[in-house]
Chain A
Amino acid sequence: MQDNYDKFKAAGAELIAISSDNVAGTKQTVDKEVLKYPVLADKDRETIKAYNVVDPANNRLARASSFILKRDGTVAWVNLDEWNERIPTAKILTELGKL
């Protein structure tokens, strides 16, 4: 996802990642992957619940998913990943281009 960060920037979008990890776990992920974009810790899963992406099989985790939010803060596009299959970045970029 790191290489793609610049592509999102070029497409006029900010990239934000969220998981149910705590702050320390999130730091590990960021340090390991050397990520430039914000990776946020939703330990209490309040945001994960608000976006209705609690994993139905394990309520302590987020379901892998992507949202595109428009400038006015509304939801423009939603993708729920299939089990263990992350959406290709190219697909998100295509959707961004349509907006």
Chain B
Amino acid sequence: MKQIKTLFTLALLLLAAFGCGTTDNPVDDRDEIATLTGALQGEVQSIEGVTIQVHLLKDGQLVAHTEAHGSYALNEIEAGNYTLHISANGYQDAELNVTVVAGETVSLDKVTLAALALPDGLELGEGLNIGSKAPAFELPDGNGELHALADYTGNDKKVVLIFYRGGW
């Protein structure tokens, strides 16, 4: 009885397999995935001791992430338009608009990150020198309303500026 059941199951499986093969379903699932995704590759200068982060964003949301060691690659990315954000500690960020093409590997131009200009005698993250001019800024608050430093210093007031780490 058990043997018959096994044979029956086998027959069903065979039928299913051949059934799929003979129907006129034009797209095999694997082909479909391959045609909907593509890949990106590119190059950034190597900086000794510095990790270079590569973030792929769509509408501001992180889609993929990798580190660049000279070269970088992002695979199996859904076709479409993205922003590629390249950042490294002590360097200016670079941003590229990229298009991922289905079934293709898009090669991007080499990116060279520019070092941040640091104040005389100070290392990265050590703030500014006493007596130097405070850099102007204009930034939004939580309601999107813009505040410029000049709105406050122009008020004939001293300004206490607090930088905090913020959320992760």
* A residues adjacent to B (C-beta < 8 A): 1, 8, 11-21, 23-31, 38-42, 44-56, 59-78, 80, 92, 96, 99
Contact = CB atoms under 8 A, between A and B. Distances in A.
B124 A71 contact: no
A29 to B, nearest CB: 7
Contact of B141 (A8, A40, A78): A40
A59 B118 CA distance: 15
Nearest to A27: B142
Name B's interface SS.
loop
Contacts, number: 196
A64 B161 contact: no
A78 B130 contact: yes
Contacts of A19: 163-166
A18 B152 CA distance: 14
Interface of B: 53, 87-90, 92-93, 116, 118-119, 122-135, 137, 139-144, 147, 149, 152-153, 155-168
Contacts of A46: 137
Contacts of A64: 163-165
A72 B132 CA distance: 11
Contacts of A54: 89-90, 116, 124-125
Given A62-B166, A74-B134, A52 B128 contact: yes
A23 B26 CA distance: 48
Which of A48, A69, A72 has the most chain B CB atoms closer than 10 A to its own CB?
Answer: A69
Which of B128, B137, B159, B160 has the most chain A CB atoms closer than 10 A to its own CB?
Answer: B160
